Amino acid sequence: MSNSEYRTTPQQIETMPPGIPYIIGNEAAERFSYYGMGAVLYEFLTEHLRDASGAMAPMSPELAKAWQHYFYAAVYALPIFGAILSDWLFGKYQTIVWISLLYCVGHGVLALVDFPSVTGVEPKWLIAAGLVLLAMGAGGIKPCVSAHVGDQFGERNKDLINKVFGWFYFSINAGAVVSTLLCPWLLKHYGPGWAFGIPGIIMAIATLVFWLGRFKYVHIPAGGSKFIEETFSADGIRAVINLIPLYLFIFPFFMLFDQTHTAWVEQAKSMNGNFGLFTMLPAQLQAVNPFLILCFIPLFAYVLYPLMGRWFEPTPLRKIGIGLFLTALSFVIIALAEQRIVNGETPHMLWQIAAYVVITAGEVMVSVTALEFSYTQAPKKMKSFIMGVYLLVAIALGNILTARVNEYIEAQKKVGVAILEGANYYWFFAIVMLVAAVIYVVWSQFYHGRVYIQGEEGVA
Protein backbone atom coordinates (compact mmCIF):
# COMPACT_ATOMS: atom_id res chain seq x y z
CA MET A 1 0.00 0.00 0.00
CA SER A 2 1.44 3.39 -0.95
CA ASN A 3 1.66 6.35 1.39
CA SER A 4 -1.24 7.98 -0.47
CA GLU A 5 -3.52 5.11 0.55
CA TYR A 6 -2.99 5.70 4.26
CA ARG A 7 -5.81 7.42 6.14
CA THR A 8 -4.93 11.09 6.57
CA THR A 9 -7.90 12.27 8.64
CA PRO A 10 -9.27 10.89 11.92
CA GLN A 11 -12.21 8.50 11.72
CA GLN A 12 -15.52 9.99 12.84
CA ILE A 13 -15.95 7.57 15.74
CA GLU A 14 -16.64 7.99 19.43
CA THR A 15 -14.50 5.02 20.49
CA MET A 16 -10.75 4.51 20.76
CA PRO A 17 -8.85 4.91 17.44
CA PRO A 18 -7.68 1.51 16.08
CA GLY A 19 -4.00 2.48 15.91
CA ILE A 20 -3.69 3.33 19.61
CA PRO A 21 -2.86 -0.24 20.83
CA TYR A 22 0.10 -0.45 18.43
CA ILE A 23 1.42 2.94 19.51
CA ILE A 24 1.03 2.08 23.20
CA GLY A 25 2.70 -1.33 22.71
CA ASN A 26 5.58 0.25 20.83
CA GLU A 27 6.01 2.90 23.51
CA ALA A 28 6.13 0.32 26.32
CA ALA A 29 8.88 -1.65 24.54
CA GLU A 30 10.84 1.46 23.52
CA ARG A 31 10.74 2.84 27.04
CA PHE A 32 11.89 -0.54 28.39
CA SER A 33 14.99 -0.22 26.24
CA TYR A 34 15.64 3.42 27.15
CA TYR A 35 15.08 3.19 30.89
CA GLY A 36 16.82 -0.18 31.15
CA MET A 37 19.96 1.32 29.65
CA GLY A 38 19.62 4.47 31.77
CA ALA A 39 19.14 2.46 34.96
CA VAL A 40 22.60 0.90 34.70
CA LEU A 41 24.54 3.70 32.99
CA TYR A 42 25.57 5.58 36.15
CA GLU A 43 26.55 2.42 38.03
CA PHE A 44 28.47 1.18 34.98
CA LEU A 45 30.42 4.43 34.68
CA THR A 46 31.30 4.56 38.39
CA GLU A 47 31.93 0.85 39.10
CA HIS A 48 32.34 -1.22 35.91
CA LEU A 49 34.10 1.01 33.36
CA ARG A 50 37.41 -0.40 32.12
CA ASP A 51 40.13 0.83 29.80
CA ALA A 52 41.19 -0.85 26.55
CA SER A 53 43.56 -3.19 28.44
CA GLY A 54 40.73 -4.44 30.63
CA ALA A 55 41.91 -2.65 33.79
CA MET A 56 39.32 -0.88 35.93
CA ALA A 57 39.02 2.84 35.07
CA PRO A 58 35.81 4.09 36.76
CA MET A 59 34.69 7.72 36.61
CA SER A 60 34.23 9.92 39.67
CA PRO A 61 30.59 10.36 40.77
CA GLU A 62 30.59 13.99 39.62
CA LEU A 63 32.00 13.19 36.18
CA ALA A 64 29.57 10.29 35.74
CA LYS A 65 26.66 12.56 36.68
CA ALA A 66 27.84 15.12 34.14
CA TRP A 67 28.10 12.48 31.38
CA GLN A 68 24.66 11.07 32.09
CA HIS A 69 22.95 14.45 32.36
CA TYR A 70 24.59 15.67 29.15
CA PHE A 71 23.26 12.50 27.52
CA TYR A 72 19.78 13.31 28.82
CA ALA A 73 20.20 16.88 27.59
CA ALA A 74 21.04 15.60 24.11
CA VAL A 75 18.08 13.20 24.17
CA TYR A 76 15.76 16.11 24.88
CA ALA A 77 17.50 18.73 22.71
CA LEU A 78 17.40 16.64 19.53
CA PRO A 79 13.60 16.21 19.39
CA ILE A 80 13.33 19.67 17.87
CA PHE A 81 15.15 18.28 14.80
CA GLY A 82 12.98 15.18 14.79
CA ALA A 83 9.97 17.47 14.91
CA ILE A 84 11.22 19.46 11.92
CA LEU A 85 11.84 16.26 9.94
CA SER A 86 8.37 15.06 10.90
CA ASP A 87 6.25 18.18 10.51
CA TRP A 88 8.10 19.67 7.54
CA LEU A 89 9.44 16.77 5.45
CA PHE A 90 8.51 13.15 6.16
CA GLY A 91 5.50 12.95 8.48
CA LYS A 92 5.48 11.30 11.89
CA TYR A 93 5.25 7.65 10.81
CA GLN A 94 8.25 7.65 8.44
CA THR A 95 10.35 9.67 10.89
CA ILE A 96 9.62 7.25 13.74
CA VAL A 97 10.39 4.11 11.71
CA TRP A 98 13.72 5.23 10.25
CA ILE A 99 15.10 6.89 13.36
CA SER A 100 14.13 3.83 15.41
CA LEU A 101 16.60 1.79 13.34
CA LEU A 102 19.36 4.23 14.33
CA TYR A 103 18.23 3.76 17.93
CA CYS A 104 18.77 -0.02 17.63
CA VAL A 105 22.33 0.50 16.33
CA GLY A 106 23.12 2.68 19.36
CA HIS A 107 22.11 -0.10 21.74
CA GLY A 108 24.31 -2.52 19.81
CA VAL A 109 27.35 -0.24 20.15
CA LEU A 110 26.81 0.02 23.92
CA ALA A 111 26.71 -3.76 24.25
CA LEU A 112 30.23 -3.91 22.72
CA VAL A 113 31.77 -2.25 25.82
CA ASP A 114 31.97 -5.71 27.38
CA PHE A 115 34.45 -6.86 24.72
CA PRO A 116 37.42 -4.41 24.64
CA SER A 117 39.83 -7.19 23.62
CA VAL A 118 37.65 -7.91 20.57
CA THR A 119 36.88 -4.35 19.49
CA GLY A 120 40.28 -2.86 20.37
CA VAL A 121 38.44 0.36 21.20
CA GLU A 122 38.56 2.20 24.52
CA PRO A 123 35.22 1.35 26.21
CA LYS A 124 34.75 4.99 27.22
CA TRP A 125 34.65 6.00 23.57
CA LEU A 126 32.29 3.17 22.68
CA ILE A 127 30.02 4.47 25.43
CA ALA A 128 30.28 7.98 23.99
CA ALA A 129 29.49 6.78 20.45
CA GLY A 130 26.61 4.61 21.65
CA LEU A 131 25.14 7.44 23.69
CA VAL A 132 25.32 9.80 20.70
CA LEU A 133 23.41 7.30 18.55
CA LEU A 134 20.89 6.65 21.32
CA ALA A 135 20.38 10.38 21.83
CA MET A 136 19.73 10.79 18.10
CA GLY A 137 17.31 7.85 18.12
CA ALA A 138 15.45 8.48 21.37
CA GLY A 139 15.48 12.22 20.82
CA GLY A 140 14.49 12.08 17.17
CA ILE A 141 11.31 10.07 17.72
CA LYS A 142 10.30 11.54 21.06
CA PRO A 143 8.10 14.47 19.91
CA CYS A 144 6.69 12.45 17.03
CA VAL A 145 5.31 9.56 19.10
CA SER A 146 3.34 11.67 21.57
CA ALA A 147 2.05 13.94 18.79
CA HIS A 148 1.18 10.83 16.73
CA VAL A 149 -1.09 9.75 19.60
CA GLY A 150 -3.00 13.02 19.45
CA ASP A 151 -3.29 12.83 15.65
CA GLN A 152 -5.47 9.73 15.92
CA PHE A 153 -8.35 11.71 17.44
CA GLY A 154 -11.04 13.81 15.81
CA GLU A 155 -13.94 15.94 16.97
CA ARG A 156 -16.18 13.06 18.06
CA ASN A 157 -13.69 11.23 20.28
CA LYS A 158 -11.48 14.13 21.40
CA ASP A 159 -12.76 13.73 24.97
CA LEU A 160 -10.72 10.50 25.15
CA ILE A 161 -7.42 12.34 24.59
CA ASN A 162 -6.92 13.09 28.28
CA LYS A 163 -7.32 9.44 29.31
CA VAL A 164 -5.24 8.12 26.41
CA PHE A 165 -2.34 10.44 27.20
CA GLY A 166 -2.59 9.11 30.75
CA TRP A 167 -2.41 5.52 29.48
CA PHE A 168 0.37 6.53 27.08
CA TYR A 169 2.37 7.67 30.09
CA PHE A 170 1.24 4.51 31.89
CA SER A 171 2.79 2.37 29.11
CA ILE A 172 6.05 4.29 29.40
CA ASN A 173 6.28 3.36 33.04
CA ALA A 174 5.09 -0.23 32.58
CA GLY A 175 8.16 -0.77 30.40
CA ALA A 176 10.36 1.21 32.78
CA VAL A 177 9.38 -0.65 35.96
CA VAL A 178 10.38 -4.02 34.47
CA SER A 179 13.62 -2.78 32.91
CA THR A 180 14.85 -0.89 35.99
CA LEU A 181 14.48 -4.06 38.04
CA LEU A 182 15.93 -6.40 35.43
CA CYS A 183 18.88 -4.49 33.96
CA PRO A 184 20.73 -3.74 37.25
CA TRP A 185 20.40 -7.45 38.06
CA LEU A 186 21.81 -8.33 34.64
CA LEU A 187 24.70 -5.91 35.19
CA LYS A 188 25.58 -7.49 38.52
CA HIS A 189 25.28 -11.14 37.48
CA TYR A 190 26.05 -11.17 33.73
CA GLY A 191 27.95 -7.95 33.03
CA PRO A 192 27.53 -4.89 30.78
CA GLY A 193 27.12 -6.86 27.54
CA TRP A 194 23.80 -8.35 28.63
CA ALA A 195 22.71 -5.30 30.64
CA PHE A 196 23.06 -3.11 27.53
CA GLY A 197 22.24 -5.82 24.96
CA ILE A 198 18.79 -6.88 26.22
CA PRO A 199 17.41 -3.30 25.90
CA GLY A 200 18.66 -3.31 22.29
CA ILE A 201 16.73 -6.48 21.50
CA ILE A 202 13.60 -5.00 23.06
CA MET A 203 14.04 -1.83 20.97
CA ALA A 204 14.10 -3.95 17.81
CA ILE A 205 10.81 -5.52 18.93
CA ALA A 206 9.37 -2.04 19.57
CA THR A 207 10.19 -0.99 16.01
CA LEU A 208 8.53 -4.12 14.62
CA VAL A 209 5.35 -3.54 16.67
CA PHE A 210 5.08 0.03 15.42
CA TRP A 211 5.55 -1.05 11.78
CA LEU A 212 2.83 -3.72 12.11
CA GLY A 213 0.26 -1.03 12.93
CA ARG A 214 1.01 1.11 9.87
CA PHE A 215 -2.38 0.55 8.21
CA LYS A 216 -4.27 1.34 11.42
CA TYR A 217 -2.88 4.83 11.92
CA VAL A 218 -4.03 8.26 10.87
CA HIS A 219 -1.03 9.56 8.89
CA ILE A 220 -1.16 13.35 9.07
CA PRO A 221 0.90 14.48 6.02
CA ALA A 222 4.03 16.54 6.53
CA GLY A 223 3.25 20.22 6.30
CA GLY A 224 5.98 21.08 3.79
CA SER A 225 6.12 24.80 3.21
CA LYS A 226 2.91 25.10 5.23
CA PHE A 227 4.90 23.99 8.30
CA ILE A 228 7.20 27.00 7.90
CA GLU A 229 4.21 29.26 7.26
CA GLU A 230 2.36 28.00 10.35
CA THR A 231 5.47 28.06 12.55
CA PHE A 232 6.07 31.69 11.71
CA SER A 233 2.41 32.61 11.44
CA ALA A 234 0.78 34.79 14.05
CA ASP A 235 -0.73 31.71 15.73
CA GLY A 236 2.55 29.78 15.62
CA ILE A 237 4.64 32.59 17.06
CA ARG A 238 1.97 33.29 19.68
CA ALA A 239 1.91 29.63 20.76
CA VAL A 240 5.69 29.49 21.16
CA ILE A 241 5.87 32.83 22.99
CA ASN A 242 3.06 31.78 25.32
CA LEU A 243 4.58 28.40 26.15
CA ILE A 244 8.30 29.17 26.53
CA PRO A 245 7.84 30.99 29.89
CA LEU A 246 5.91 27.95 31.15
CA TYR A 247 8.74 25.67 30.06
CA LEU A 248 11.29 27.89 31.80
CA PHE A 249 9.41 27.29 35.04
CA ILE A 250 9.29 23.55 34.40
CA PHE A 251 13.03 23.13 33.70
CA PRO A 252 13.96 23.30 37.43
CA PHE A 253 11.63 20.31 37.90
CA PHE A 254 13.80 18.28 35.52
CA MET A 255 17.00 19.56 37.15
CA LEU A 256 15.78 17.67 40.20
CA PHE A 257 13.75 14.81 38.77
CA ASP A 258 16.39 13.35 36.45
CA GLN A 259 18.83 13.10 39.36
CA THR A 260 16.86 10.07 40.53
CA HIS A 261 19.03 8.25 37.93
CA THR A 262 22.34 9.63 39.22
CA ALA A 263 22.63 11.40 42.58
CA TRP A 264 19.89 9.30 44.18
CA VAL A 265 21.61 6.10 42.98
CA GLU A 266 24.87 7.31 44.52
CA GLN A 267 23.08 8.03 47.81
CA ALA A 268 21.37 4.62 47.75
CA LYS A 269 24.82 2.94 47.79
CA SER A 270 25.16 4.17 51.39
CA MET A 271 21.71 2.99 52.46
CA ASN A 272 20.33 -0.21 53.93
CA GLY A 273 18.53 -2.10 51.16
CA ASN A 274 17.40 -5.07 53.25
CA PHE A 275 13.64 -5.62 52.87
CA GLY A 276 13.51 -8.98 54.63
CA LEU A 277 12.72 -11.37 51.80
CA PHE A 278 15.04 -9.58 49.39
CA THR A 279 17.80 -6.99 49.23
CA MET A 280 17.37 -4.22 46.69
CA LEU A 281 20.32 -3.08 44.60
CA PRO A 282 20.92 0.71 44.62
CA ALA A 283 20.12 1.06 40.90
CA GLN A 284 16.95 -1.03 41.27
CA LEU A 285 15.48 1.60 43.58
CA GLN A 286 14.78 3.62 40.43
CA ALA A 287 11.94 1.16 39.71
CA VAL A 288 9.95 2.75 42.53
CA ASN A 289 9.16 5.76 40.34
CA PRO A 290 7.61 3.94 37.36
CA PHE A 291 5.83 1.53 39.73
CA LEU A 292 4.24 4.47 41.54
CA ILE A 293 3.30 6.04 38.21
CA LEU A 294 1.32 2.89 37.41
CA CYS A 295 -0.62 3.48 40.62
CA PHE A 296 -0.81 7.26 40.61
CA ILE A 297 -2.10 7.96 37.09
CA PRO A 298 -5.49 6.25 37.68
CA LEU A 299 -5.54 7.46 41.30
CA PHE A 300 -5.11 11.09 40.27
CA ALA A 301 -7.41 10.87 37.23
CA TYR A 302 -10.32 9.11 38.93
CA VAL A 303 -9.98 10.04 42.62
CA LEU A 304 -7.72 12.97 43.52
CA TYR A 305 -8.55 15.36 40.68
CA PRO A 306 -12.33 14.86 41.15
CA LEU A 307 -11.83 15.48 44.89
CA MET A 308 -9.90 18.66 44.15
CA GLY A 309 -12.78 19.71 41.90
CA ARG A 310 -15.02 20.02 44.94
CA TRP A 311 -12.99 23.01 46.13
CA PHE A 312 -11.31 24.39 43.00
CA GLU A 313 -10.97 23.56 39.31
CA PRO A 314 -7.76 21.52 38.83
CA THR A 315 -6.69 23.27 35.63
CA PRO A 316 -3.45 22.21 33.93
CA LEU A 317 -1.60 25.27 35.22
CA ARG A 318 -2.75 24.64 38.79
CA LYS A 319 -1.71 20.99 38.61
CA ILE A 320 1.76 22.02 37.42
CA GLY A 321 2.12 24.54 40.24
CA ILE A 322 1.27 21.99 42.93
CA GLY A 323 3.68 19.53 41.32
CA LEU A 324 6.57 22.00 41.47
CA PHE A 325 6.15 22.46 45.23
CA LEU A 326 5.98 18.69 45.75
CA THR A 327 9.24 18.27 43.84
CA ALA A 328 11.01 20.72 46.15
CA LEU A 329 9.68 18.76 49.14
CA SER A 330 11.10 15.49 47.78
CA PHE A 331 14.62 16.94 47.80
CA VAL A 332 14.13 18.12 51.36
CA ILE A 333 13.53 14.47 52.31
CA ILE A 334 16.65 13.40 50.38
CA ALA A 335 18.71 16.15 52.06
CA LEU A 336 17.62 14.94 55.51
CA ALA A 337 18.57 11.36 54.59
CA GLU A 338 21.96 12.54 53.30
CA GLN A 339 22.63 14.35 56.56
CA ARG A 340 22.16 11.07 58.42
CA ILE A 341 24.68 9.42 56.08
CA VAL A 342 27.16 12.24 56.71
CA ASN A 343 26.65 11.67 60.45
CA GLY A 344 27.81 8.08 60.05
CA GLU A 345 24.41 6.38 60.01
CA THR A 346 23.06 3.93 57.42
CA PRO A 347 19.48 5.05 56.78
CA HIS A 348 17.10 2.59 55.20
CA MET A 349 16.09 2.91 51.56
CA LEU A 350 12.60 3.72 52.85
CA TRP A 351 13.84 7.32 53.08
CA GLN A 352 14.25 7.36 49.32
CA ILE A 353 10.98 5.53 48.81
CA ALA A 354 9.22 8.30 50.75
CA ALA A 355 10.93 10.87 48.54
CA TYR A 356 9.91 8.88 45.45
CA VAL A 357 6.26 9.02 46.55
CA VAL A 358 6.45 12.81 46.71
CA ILE A 359 8.46 13.42 43.53
CA THR A 360 6.31 10.95 41.56
CA ALA A 361 3.18 12.81 42.62
CA GLY A 362 4.95 15.92 41.36
CA GLU A 363 5.79 14.16 38.10
CA VAL A 364 2.17 13.21 37.46
CA MET A 365 1.08 16.79 38.04
CA VAL A 366 3.91 18.40 36.06
CA SER A 367 5.09 16.04 33.33
CA VAL A 368 1.86 14.25 32.37
CA THR A 369 -0.02 17.55 32.43
CA ALA A 370 2.62 19.43 30.41
CA LEU A 371 2.63 16.68 27.77
CA GLU A 372 -1.11 17.00 27.17
CA PHE A 373 -1.17 20.78 27.60
CA SER A 374 1.59 21.31 25.02
CA TYR A 375 -0.29 19.24 22.44
CA THR A 376 -3.54 21.17 22.89
CA GLN A 377 -1.78 24.56 22.72
CA ALA A 378 -0.02 23.82 19.40
CA PRO A 379 -1.51 24.76 16.00
CA LYS A 380 -2.43 21.71 13.93
CA LYS A 381 0.63 21.44 11.67
CA MET A 382 3.20 22.09 14.41
CA LYS A 383 2.24 19.61 17.12
CA SER A 384 5.61 17.81 16.99
CA PHE A 385 7.49 21.11 16.79
CA ILE A 386 5.88 22.39 19.99
CA MET A 387 6.64 19.06 21.68
CA GLY A 388 10.24 19.55 20.57
CA VAL A 389 10.36 23.07 22.01
CA TYR A 390 9.00 21.72 25.31
CA LEU A 391 11.62 18.98 25.51
CA LEU A 392 14.43 21.37 24.56
CA VAL A 393 13.59 24.21 26.92
CA ALA A 394 12.13 22.28 29.87
CA ILE A 395 14.10 19.03 29.99
CA ALA A 396 17.35 19.54 28.05
CA LEU A 397 18.05 22.86 29.76
CA GLY A 398 17.38 21.36 33.18
CA ASN A 399 19.85 18.54 32.55
CA ILE A 400 22.51 20.85 31.12
CA LEU A 401 22.43 22.96 34.26
CA THR A 402 22.62 19.87 36.48
CA ALA A 403 25.64 18.66 34.47
CA ARG A 404 27.29 22.08 34.74
CA VAL A 405 26.79 22.15 38.52
CA ASN A 406 28.50 18.77 38.82
CA GLU A 407 31.33 19.76 36.48
CA TYR A 408 31.90 22.84 38.63
CA ILE A 409 31.95 20.72 41.80
CA GLU A 410 34.48 18.36 40.15
CA ALA A 411 36.68 21.25 39.01
CA GLN A 412 36.67 22.82 42.47
CA LYS A 413 37.46 19.47 44.07
CA LYS A 414 40.57 19.14 41.88
CA VAL A 415 41.95 22.41 43.29
CA GLY A 416 41.12 21.45 46.86
CA VAL A 417 37.90 23.44 47.27
CA ALA A 418 34.87 21.53 48.58
CA ILE A 419 31.45 22.96 47.66
CA LEU A 420 27.92 21.59 47.89
CA GLU A 421 29.09 18.53 49.79
CA GLY A 422 26.77 16.11 51.55
CA ALA A 423 23.29 17.38 52.29
CA ASN A 424 24.11 20.87 50.99
CA TYR A 425 24.00 19.47 47.45
CA TYR A 426 20.35 18.50 47.84
CA TRP A 427 19.40 21.64 49.79
CA PHE A 428 20.74 23.72 46.89
CA PHE A 429 18.42 22.07 44.38
CA ALA A 430 15.45 22.13 46.78
CA ILE A 431 15.82 25.90 47.20
CA VAL A 432 16.14 26.46 43.43
CA MET A 433 12.90 24.50 42.90
CA LEU A 434 11.05 26.33 45.68
CA VAL A 435 11.97 29.77 44.33
CA ALA A 436 10.89 28.77 40.81
CA ALA A 437 7.57 27.41 42.13
CA VAL A 438 6.76 30.64 43.98
CA ILE A 439 7.47 32.79 40.92
CA TYR A 440 5.46 30.38 38.75
CA VAL A 441 2.35 30.85 40.89
CA VAL A 442 2.44 34.58 40.13
CA TRP A 443 3.15 34.14 36.41
CA SER A 444 0.43 31.52 35.87
CA GLN A 445 -2.28 34.03 36.77
CA PHE A 446 -1.56 35.89 33.55
CA TYR A 447 -1.30 33.00 31.05
CA HIS A 448 -3.76 33.00 28.14
CA GLY A 449 -3.56 30.21 25.57
CA ARG A 450 -5.57 28.70 22.73
CA VAL A 451 -6.68 25.08 22.20
CA TYR A 452 -6.20 23.26 18.86
CA ILE A 453 -7.55 19.77 17.98
CA GLN A 454 -7.05 17.99 14.62
CA GLY A 455 -9.94 18.79 12.32
CA GLU A 456 -10.81 22.03 14.07
CA GLU A 457 -9.82 25.66 14.07
CA GLY A 458 -8.28 27.04 17.24
CA VAL A 459 -10.64 27.42 20.15
CA ALA A 460 -9.93 30.40 22.33
* pLDDT value at 9 more than 50: yes
Residue 6 lies in a domain: no
Query: Count of domains in the chain?
Result: 1
Instruction: Say which range, 111-120, 153-162, 416-425, has the weakest mean pLDDT.
Output: 153-162
* pLDDT value at 120 more than 50: yes
Residue 223 lies in a domain: yes
Instruction: Report helix, strand or coil for 279.
Output: strand
For the chain, the average pLDDT equals 85
* pLDDT value at 3 more than 80: no
Instruction: Identify whether the C-beta of residue 131 lies closer than 8 Å to the C-beta of residue 70.
Output: no
The whole domain housing 284 covers: 15-444
Residue 7 lies in a domain: no
Residue 154 lies in a domain: yes
Q: Indicate which CATH number applies to the domain containing 325.
A: 1.20.1250.20
Residue 257, phi then psi, degrees to nearest 5: -60, -45
DSSP bridge partners of 50? 56
Q: Regarding predicted confidence, which is higher, 143 or 398? A: 398
Q: Regarding predicted confidence, which is higher, 345 or 90? A: 345
**In 129-143, which positions are buried (b, 16+ CB within 10 angstroms) versus exposed (e)?**
bbbebbbbbbbbbbb
148: pLDDT confidence band, cut at 50, 70 and 90? Answer: confident
* pLDDT value at 167 more than 60: yes
Gap between the Cα atoms of 69 and 57, Å rounded? 20
Residue 32 lies in a domain: yes
Q: What percent of the chain has pLDDT over 70?
A: 92
pLDDT of residue 450: 57
**How confident is the model over 301-329, as pLDDT tens digits?**
889 888 988 888 888 889 999 999 999 99
Q: Regarding predicted confidence, which is higher, 2 or 94? A: 94
pLDDT of residue 1: 43
Instruction: Identify whether the C-beta of residue 394 lies closer than 8 Å to the C-beta of residue 72.
Output: no
For the segment 203-214, the average pLDDT, to the nearest whole number, is: 86
Residue 429 lies in a domain: yes
Residue 450 lies in a domain: no
Residue 456 lies in a domain: no
Instruction: Identify whether the C-beta of residue 188 lies closer than 8 Å to the C-beta of residue 78.
Output: no
